[in-house]
Structure 1
Amino acid sequence: MGMTPRLEFRQSQSLTLTPQLMQSIRLLQLSHLELNAFVEAELQRNPLLEREDGTEASDADIEFPERPLELSAYEDTVDHADRIQSADSIASSYDTEVENVFPEQASQEAQGTGQSQWTERGGLAEGGEAPDIDQFVAARPSLADHLTDQIGMMLTDPADRLIARFLTDSLDEAGYLTTEIETVAEQLGAPLAAVEAVLKTIQNCDPPGVFARDVRECLAIQLRDKDRLDPLMERLLDHLDLLAAHDMVGLARAVGADREDLLDMLAELRQLDPKPGRAFEVGMVEAVVPDVFVREANGGGWVIELNADILPRVLVNRTYYATVTKKTRDAAEKTFLTDCLATANWLAKSLDQRAQTILKVAAEIVKQQDGFLLHGIAHLRPMTLKMVADAIDMHESTVSRVTSNKYLSTPRGLFEMKYFFTTALGSSTGEAEHSAEAVRHRIRQLIEGEKPADILSDDTIAQMLQKEQGIEVARRTVAKYREGMHISSSVIRRRQKRAALASVR
């Protein structure tokens, strides 16, 4: 069979992700703060978009043209001065500043009394608002600024100050030095002895404990500042690993102190701050705002509604588009307006689709987690993204994007939507599977309820879960869940509770 060139028409279907479709998918996973920032940027860029504030113009807001004044000869010569508009009103009619229309007026006002200037700028001016009190709150100094002020008085040599500045920039949020002094000496080209001398000097800065390289040195600096760093305390700091393991017998033997002295020394350690720099943390704490509210209905069931206060709403100004399009003759301007109209329509539609998708996913989560909302975490069902996606006829990736950075306000508290998606653990009784989060909660309850004389091991907890609720869980799974909740092992818990009983006695 010979090969010859020919033309063929074939019809096929394929899915293509257009830029607008990709942007719509991106909008799903944005938090409400990120979404508002994105919409604000679009409002600045697109002249056809405007924010919907839910208010309508009333008759009082509509300006009607005033009738021209008809003055008699007497009024024109005598009383017209009372009818002349002020400089502010005239400048306002031209949409500009007073000094642009009446330069002499601005200079005369600048020569006014200090009281009038205060009234216009800082006080309650006529028709104005009170200044925001946050503008007068002093900024909290950072740790670096606090230390720089002290270093300037401690060190006089410019080279030493340069080293101290470099060490200050190497501190973490807790006040610890994160860079090796050998590396500092190499980068600055300074002698190692000079860096060590500067470090020893600036370790006397306030708060005590800054510029330490580990916990032991941090506590030692604070004890030295209190004149309590004796040989016994130094030996105690040398065996902090035994203290962390709550091996009080081994710790007393290593330190060489009796029980009473050891308890006094531990009481002194508890008064120290292992993170001296945290008092200068200036990170802003942002409150979590729910995206969806869930509350009980009067006749049973649940009422689910979006938080309308955080949802940006935009309108497409088609009137402005029609007016400008009629007057423009330039092809580039028409193309720009057409693109702006398409983008504005897409954004309004995408925001509505995003809200409906979030509401749809939240409704399905509430439907499947009805037991949790009614009875608590013990009744949290295992749920996966696929279960929700199949129920609402969506793709798993869409559900994953919708539940990212979204929060649900329920009668049980405020939860991230991702919280409700947990793996399942099998049941030996053949009943419904158990949620991993519910199993973690039960493990925590068992450990919190254990007696000092009867500490539960991981094997014992696994057996109790099997006996009480028929949960098939291995010992290593219990250990993994326990470590994930930052709960110590049975050996350390036994030592902790023995030490607690000994201190009470």
Structure 2
Amino acid sequence: MALTPKLVLRQSQSLVMTPQLMQAIKLLQLSSLDLAAYVDKELEQNPLLERHEQAPEAPVRGEEAPEPAAWEDPAPGSRAEIESRLGTDFGNVFPDDAPQAAERAPAAERPEPGDWSGMGAGSASAGEGADLEAYVAERPTLGDHLERQLMLAVGDPTDRAIGQHLVDLIDAAGYLREPLDDIAERLGAPLDRVERVLGVIQTFEPTGIGARSLSECLAIQLRELNRFDPAMQALVDNLELVARRDLASLRKLCGVDAEDLADMLDEIRRLDPKPGHAFGSEVVQAVAPDVTVRAAPDGSWIVELVADSLPRVLVNQTYYAKVARSAKSDTEKTFLTECLQTANWLTRSLEQRARTILKVATEIVRQQDGFLAYGVAHLKPLNLRMIADAIGMHESTVSRVTANKYVATPRGVFELKYFFTAAIASADGGDAHSAEAVRHRIRAMIDAESPDDILSDDTIVKRLHDSGVEIARRTVAKYREGLRIPSSVQRRREKQSAHRPA
């Protein structure tokens, strides 16, 4: 058969991921904070985009958000027109309070006409409010705190360099996790010298810093309190027995009676196992919900989008028409066309994102009505496919919508993914149970147990089976460990110790 070139026409279908489609998918899975940052970046780059300052009403029960309107120039003589001409924002001035405040101010403190030197950054002439972050005191980090002490305690340049390296290796909890042998080899310094510098660091504040284990951390703090006697040393060296509440073995090792051992354990509890957490801890950011759920008078639930989590941008059609008439070169026309397309795409994508989130959240609320009305025990098994089939979307779209999104309910703020739980079969052949609801039952059982009647995993399995939950013992053990609940033996020792008379 001869090999000859020829032309063949074939027809096929393929899905092409355009750049705009990829951006839309990325936009869908962004959190509210990431979305705000993305929109701010687009506002800086695209001259045709304008921020809509007045937040629209949140869509309710699947109500579609309003379409974006064209940006309009401020009316002549209006406040917006005056502010735009003067470059001044009067939004932070209270008209009723400003005159009185100026009259109450001493004459020496009143600014002279035309003298704005006393105003901070972001004054009226800058068109912005005062930068309050400039007045917030900076919280020292653990590394900064240790470096200042190192400069005062160590004078030798070599020892100071070793100490600086050790300080850099101390983690947020205050521990030095890397072996000293590896550190000495990397620095090319004798091991005894590195140990000596570490000993100096372990005398710094907070007490217990630079320890290589929990036992060493507690020992440093006990030495500072002059309480590290042989009995206490034996107790610190056997912390695994303390965790197991094996009091008999501890009394034998420490050579003390029950009363002395109880006092020693109380003293151990008063120590700080993670001294580094007192410095440089990150500020916990409050979760901003994207959706709110509230009860309606008729017993149903009202699902709304939080307006603050929806950045609104408008297309400045007036400015585009004005600039387009003055554009001469092809490069300018192409640039304006791309800016207009990007602006229109962004406004449509934001509206589509809001509708999709509301649609998914409404269906989740409908599926988990029992949880909102009666609590965690009535949480139903739910997966992404069930929501996707109910609203006619792809499963991957639902997954992106529920990522990094939060809903505020009468029972608290939850991530949307919280409502998706695995199913556990029913013992009587009825509806399946949610894994989260079963975990809640296990915790409730253990919290209600008495010191004389500690529930083993087998007993919990039997009680769950009697209530209609078909579950294996290893699953109960896995859920219990996930809830950070100790075994029945450890719980019995802890509760008996807590109820023992002093």
Q: Which TM class, normalised by the smaller chain length?
A: 0.7 to 0.9
Aligned to 1:22: 22
The SS at the match of 2:340 is helix
- What's the secondary structure of 1:120's corresponding residue? coil
Which amino acid in the other structure matches residue 218 of structure 2? L
2:46 aligned with 1:46: yes
Query: Is the partner of 1:282 in helix, strand or coil?
Result: coil
Q: Find the aligned partners of 2:184 and 2:422 in 1 and give their Cα distance.
A: 51
What does the per-residue CA deviation read over 1:252-300, in whole Å, with 9 as the maximum and x for residues that have no partner? 1122111011011111111110111101033121100110011111223
Cα distance in structure 2, aligned partners of 1:213 and 1:42: 48
Offset at 1:61? 2.1
Structure with bigger RCO (C-alpha 8 Å, 6+ apart): 2
Check whether the contact 1:29–1:404 (CA below 8 A) recurs between aligned residues.
Answer: yes
**What is the Cα deviation at residue 122 of structure 1?**
4.5
Among candidates 484, 494, 497, match of residue 495 of structure 2: 497
Pair 1:262–1:64, CA change in 2 (3 A): closer
Could you tell me which residue of structure 2 aligns to residue 99 of structure 1?
A: none
Residues 115, 224 of structure 1: CA spacing in aligned structure 2 closer, same or farther, 3 A cutoff? farther
Q: 1:287 to 1:185 in 2, by over 3 A?
A: same
Q: Kindly indicate whether the alpha-carbon contact (under 8 Å) linking 2:198 and 2:210 is maintained by their aligned counterparts in 1.
A: yes
- Contact 1:119/1:125 (8 A) holds in 2: no
Q: TM-score, normalised by structure 2?
A: 0.86
Q: 1:124 to 1:283 in 2, by over 3 A?
A: closer
Structure 2 unaligned blocks of 5 or more: 56-71, 89-108
3-state SS, counterpart of residue 413 of structure 2: strand
Q: Deviations over 1:124-163 (max 9, x none)?
A: 9888998455433321111111111111121111111111
2:345 is equivalent to residue 346 of structure 1? yes
Cα 1:271–1:64 change in 2 (3 A) is closer
Q: Does 1:484 align with 2:501?
A: no
CA deviations over 1:100-139 (Å, ceiling 9, x no partner): xxxxxxxxxxxxx998678633599888998455433321
For the Cα contact (< 8 Å) 2:140–2:280, is it kept in 1? no
Q: Please say if 1:235 is aligned against 2:234.
A: yes
Q: Distance in 2 between matches of 1:33 and 1:63?
A: 28
Over the residues paired in the alignment, what is the CA RMSD in angstroms?
2.6
| Corresponding residue number in structure 1 for 2:98 | none
Query: Which residue does 2:160 correspond to in 1?
Result: 161
1:264 aligns with 2:266: no
Q: How does 1:79-478 map to 2 (within 5 A)?
A: 120-122=118-120, 131-467=130-466, 469-478=467-476
Distance 1:294 1:114 in 2: 49
Contiguous gaps of at least 5 residues in structure 1: 66-89, 94-112
Residue 31 (structure 1) aligned with residue 48 (structure 2): no
Q: Larger helix proportion, structure 1 or 2?
A: 1
Cα contact 2:139–2:280 (8 A) shared by 1: no
Q: Is the 8 A contact 1:427 1:470 kept in 2?
A: yes
The one of 65, 73, 78 aligned to 1:61: 78
Instruction: Write out per-residue CA displacement over residues 300-356 of structure 1, whole angstroms, 9 at most, x where no aligned residue.
Output: 311111001121111111222222222111111211111111111111111111000
Number of residue pairs aligned between Structure 1 and Structure 2: 460
Give the residue type in structure 2 aligned to 1:480: K
Map Cα deviations across residues 66-121 of structure 1 (whole Å, 9 max, x no partner): xxxxxxxxxxxxxxxxxxxxxxxx9989xxxxxxxxxxxxxxxxxxx998678633
Check conservation: 2:146, 2:167, Cα contact below 8 A: yes
Residues 126, 216 of structure 1: alpha-carbon distance in 2 compared, 3 angstrom cutoff: closer
Identity of aligned residues (%): 56
Indicate the SS of the match to 2:431.
Answer: coil
Deviates more, 1:396-405 or 1:147-156: 147-156
State the shift of 1:4 in Å: 6.3
CA distance in 2, matches of 1:389, 1:171: 47
Q: CA deviation at 1:189?
A: 1.2
AA aligned to 2:494 is Q
Instruction: Note closer, same or farther for the CA distance 1:376–1:479 as it changes in structure 2 (3 Å cut).
Output: same
Matched-pair contact (CA < 8 Å) for 1:173–1:277 = yes
Q: Which residue of 2 aligns with 1:74?
A: none
1:414, 1:240 → 2: CA distance? 38
The TM-score with structure 1 as length reference comes to 0.86
